[in-house]
Structure 1
């Protein structure tokens, strides 16, 4: 399965979710490749930081921030169980290429009306891609939720009435994610039995259930 994490809005947690999803699948024995399609190269920076730790390399991270992504990713997928694309913000040509390569698109949003409005261009690109690939699946992912706040409930309610629909699993706002990523690690490695590990496991299972 080729999963692309995409949103025109930056800073919504695409890289964090992409790396944790890849790490969980790799820990389950799957062969996983992460494609860093963001010119900022955050996933590649994380991979380099991980090389300075004593942690094993769970998966490969490749930089492919070019418009030919849709032709190159299927070749990578032939030798892997999963490919996870960490997409770029605000670069429509790269976004289109990632959409044409993917089987499933995850659109991370934060609990904020601004994120919902900023998703409009992303949804237009998704609809364009689905006109060529009707079986392309997509889900919103509510990321960085702060407890059971009113804004989180309102954002979830608004997204549940949208197409694509909202992924059931949600990710909370936790300092652990930033701490782990900054050290080239993953949150479930820092605290294997903690709440972040549990919610990430639920997230990965929800995504896997959408496999074509």
Structure 2
């Protein structure tokens, strides 16, 4: 399965989610490759920091910030159980290429009405991609939020009226994610029993229950 984390709005936590989802699948014994398709190269920076710390490699990180992604990602998927794409903000050609490569698109949004409204352009791109990939599945993910806050609840309710739907599991705004990333680690490596690690594990379990298979291009 190829999973792309995409949102044209920057700063919604795509890279953090991509790295920690890839790490959780790896922890569960899956072969994982992460594609850094963001020209900023944050996932590649994380991988280099991990190497400097002398930490073992959990999954491969490959830089492919180009609009031929839909042709190259399926080749990587042949030798992996999951390919996770950390997508770019507001790069139309790259975004379209990632959509054409993906089996599942996760759209991270923060608990704010502005994030909900900003997703309209993203949904238009998904509908465009479905002309060529009719089996493409998409879900919103509420990220960087407090699950019990009123604004998170309101955002979830607003998104529930949309297609795609929002995943039940939310991910909180937690210092542990930034602390782990600075040294090339994942939140589960700091302590697998922390709320952040448990949220990521629950999110992976919910995604796995979707039972999405790799479809033909």
TM-score by length of 1: 0.98
Bigger mean CA deviation after superposition, 139-148 or 99-108:
139-148
CA-to-partner distance for each residue in 1:32-88, whole Å, 9 max, x for gaps? 000000000000000000001242110000000001000000000001110000000
Match of 2:130 in 1: 130
Match of 2:116 in 1: 116
**SS in structure 1 opposite 2:15?**
helix
Residue 79 (str. 1) matches residue 79 (str. 2): yes
Distance 1:161 1:117 in 2: 13
Distance 1:18 1:207 in 2: 13
CA-to-partner distance for each residue in 1:72-112, whole Å, 9 max, x for gaps? 00000001110000000000110000000000000000000
**SS in structure 1 opposite 2:200?**
helix
**SS in structure 2 opposite 1:165?**
coil
Match of 2:98 in 1: 98
**SS in structure 1 opposite 2:35?**
strand
Distance 2:205 2:128 in 1: 28
Number of residue pairs aligned between Structure 1 and Structure 2: 212
- Structure 1 regions of 5+ residues with no counterpart? none
Match of 2:154 in 1: 154
Distance 1:186 1:103 in 2: 25
Match of 1:63 in 2: 63
Match of 2:204 in 1: 204
Match of 1:25 in 2: 25
CA-to-partner distance for each residue in 1:128-156, whole Å, 9 max, x for gaps? 00121110000000001124111111001
Deviation at 1:175, TM superposition (A): 0.5
Distance 2:21 2:4 in 1: 11
Match of 1:188 in 2: 188
Match of 1:172 in 2: 172
Distance 2:71 2:94 in 1: 12
Match of 2:42 in 1: 42
Distance 1:141 1:39 in 2: 23
What is the CA RMSD across the aligned residues, in angstroms?
0.8
